[in-house]
Amino acid sequence: MESGALVVVELRRNSTNFEKVVKEIVKMEKKIFPKHESLARSFDEELRKNNAGLLYTSDLHGEVVGYVMYSWPSSLSASISKLAVKESHRRQGHGEALLKAAIEKCRTRNVHRISLHVDPLRSAAMGLYKKLGFQVDSLIKSYYSADRDAYRMYLDFDPK
């Protein structure tokens, strides 16, 4: 999938670079997210699920710079479980390209709603989600930790 000059790639288990990409993403997980929020330990397990997908973007050298993980637990709903971009590549369109691609993947599955959780203090993430049509559903106290809340956000699709 292309979004402007950024290419978004779907990670497939049978791709030749699968192990390399997973290794780079796990490294990013460990660096970006606190230990209790990181999927680094269970990443491979998450990817084995039939109803999960992962998209990523790379830099000119082929190094992974961002990824989005999503799932569709039912035929009606999907969720974005992770969206991350390396700090050195933020504000360059990677997050938006990844989120748009994940939304499109979910749209092709005919889901009616995509949901996600975000720390209200992460203003860049909040801005991106709102820009692409997500709305705040509710505030969930102590979602991430005792002193870190989350907004549950959603994006509804019009029935066709």
Task: Record the tokens describing residue 29, joined without a space.
Answer: 């997980």
The span from the CA of 139 to the CA of 122, in Å, is: 14
pLDDT: which is higher, 89 or 38: 89
The span from the CA of 83 to the CA of 33, in Å, is: 11
137: burial class by Cβ within 10 Å (0-12, 13-18, 19+)? middle
pLDDT digit string (tens) for 97-111?
999 999 998 888 888
Residues shown for the chain: 160
Pair 112, 159: CB distance under 8 Å: yes
**pLDDT exceeds cutoff 70 at 2:** no
Pair 94, 65: CB distance under 8 Å: yes
pLDDT digit string (tens) for 46-98?
777 778 888 999 888 888 899 999 988 777 899 998 899 998 888 888 999 99
Collapsing DSSP to helix, strand or coil, 28 comes out as: helix
**pLDDT exceeds cutoff 90 at 154:** yes
Q: In whole numbers, what is the pLDDT of the chain averaged over residues? A: 84
Owner of token pair 């209200």: 120
pLDDT at position 42 is 66
Mean pLDDT of 19-38: 80
CATH 3.40.630.30 fits 2-111, yes or no: yes
**pLDDT exceeds cutoff 60 at 113:** yes
